[in-house]
Amino acid sequence: MVTKTDTHELLHFIDHLSNLNTLFDDFPDFKEESSKIYVRTSGGIADSFETLLERLDNIGEKIEKVDGVKSSIRRWINRLDKNYSEDEGTNLPVYLTKEDAKALRKETQKWLDKIIESFDNSGTAIIKENQINEVFSKEIMDRLDNDAQKDLKEGIDVLLHGYPTAATMILFRMAERMIRELYKNTTGKEVGKETWGHMLTAIGQHEDFQKNDDNKVLMGYLYYLNKKRINAAHPYRRYTQEEAERILLQIKDMLEEIHHRK
């Protein structure tokens, strides 16, 4: 069974990996003067992969099917050690090449998909109607505006009546409200037409937000929900009761993390 400590560790991993995936995804669009991503220098990509591997080692026994991800990370660490130099002045590059960035963009997305899939399969309790007040405390509910409260209550009501796919769509709408509010409070900017992905990138890269290491757990929840929302966009996607409940519980943990920041 995955404990709350395991979950926090996993969400740190998801946040870290999502940031790397975004970095590799943006690489081809970087201007020449800002495209120098260190590989083996302290704090570079190789160090990030070592950190990912350490996090997976901490939770690997609790989450199924991560051995393939761990093996892939190790292969990339060896590849980077072989093909890059720590210092300039050798025949080997110091900065990440665009070819490797493109390969890592695909590879890190596969890792992210596999970890989220494994996390989804780790199990969750069936929520009963008389447990709702225990799941969402009055203190948490009171901090939500009227629209967010209505969405959350409506989503739970639809879920309890056995319509998990419809409930999930409502819960994602509620989660988006919270992300938009977090974006505005963090950046001081109006949301406008920003997408979930762009909002998460802006929040995660904001200097004040980065100062608090606890925010990495919150970003893990947000990236997880964004990934599930993207999957939900498929026209034939249907959710089981257990899947919808799991998303509800992730929203609950997201709200708790936001509440603790205030």
| Percent share of the chain, pLDDT over 90 | 6
Task: Give 213's pLDDT tier (boundaries 50, 70, 90).
Answer: confident
Rounded Cα gap, residues 169 and 243, in angstroms: 12
Q: Are residues 43 and 102 in the same domain?
A: yes
Is the Cβ–Cβ distance between 156 and 131 less than 8 Å? no
What's the mean per-residue pLDDT of the chain? 78
Q: Are residues 181 and 82 in the same domain?
A: no
Q: How many domains is the chain partitioned into structurally?
A: 2
Question: Which of 120, 111, 113, 118 shows the shortest CA–CA distance to 49?
Answer: 111
Q: Are residues 110 and 138 in the same domain?
A: no
Mean per-residue pLDDT for 67-72? 86
Task: Give 24's pLDDT tier (boundaries 50, 70, 90).
Answer: confident
CATH code of 25's domain: 1.20.120
pLDDT single digits (tens) 79-131? 999 999 988 878 898 888 888 888 888 888 888 777 767 665 554 444 555 55
Looking at per-residue pLDDT, the higher value among 93 and 259 belongs to: 93
Q: Are residues 133 and 256 in the same domain?
A: yes
Q: Are residues 111 and 152 in the same domain?
A: no
Is the Cβ–Cβ distance between 249 and 225 less than 8 Å? no
Q: Are residues 117 and 133 in the same domain?
A: no
Q: Are residues 252 and 136 in the same domain?
A: yes
The residue range of the domain holding 177 is 129-260
Q: Are residues 100 and 177 in the same domain?
A: no
Q: Select from 86, 121, 156 the last residue of a domain.
A: 121
Residues 176, 181, 185, 188, CA torsion sign: positive
Q: Select from 105, 121, 137 the last residue of a domain.
A: 121
Q: Are residues 61 and 150 in the same domain?
A: no
Q: What's residue 123's pLDDT?
A: 47
Looking at per-residue pLDDT, the higher value among 17 and 15 belongs to: 17
Task: Give 262's pLDDT tier (boundaries 50, 70, 90).
Answer: low
Residues 163, 165, 170, 172, CA torsion sign: positive
Q: Are residues 41 and 145 in the same domain?
A: no
Asked if residue 179 has pLDDT above 60, the reply is yes
Q: Are residues 84 and 170 in the same domain?
A: no
Mean per-residue pLDDT for 14-24? 70
Q: What's residue 224's pLDDT?
A: 84
Mean per-residue pLDDT for 191-214? 82
Mean per-residue pLDDT for 62-78? 82
Q: Are residues 89 and 149 in the same domain?
A: no
CATH code of 235's domain: 1.20.120.330
Reduced 3-state DSSP string for the chain: CCCHHHHHHHHHHHHHHHHHHHHHHHHHHCCHHHCCCECCCCCCHHHHHHHHHHHHHHHCCCCCCCHHHHHHHHHHHHHHHHHCCCCCCCCCCCECCHHHHHHHHHHHHHHHHHHHHHHHCCCCCCCCHHHHHHHCCHHHHHCCCHHHHHHHHHHHHHHHCCCHHHHHHHHHHHHHHHHHHHHHHHHCCCCCCCCHHHHHHHHHHCHHHHCCCCHHHHHHHHHHHHHHHHHHCCCCCCCCHHHHHHHHHHHHHHHHHHHHHC
Q: Select from 97, 121, 145 the last residue of a domain.
A: 121
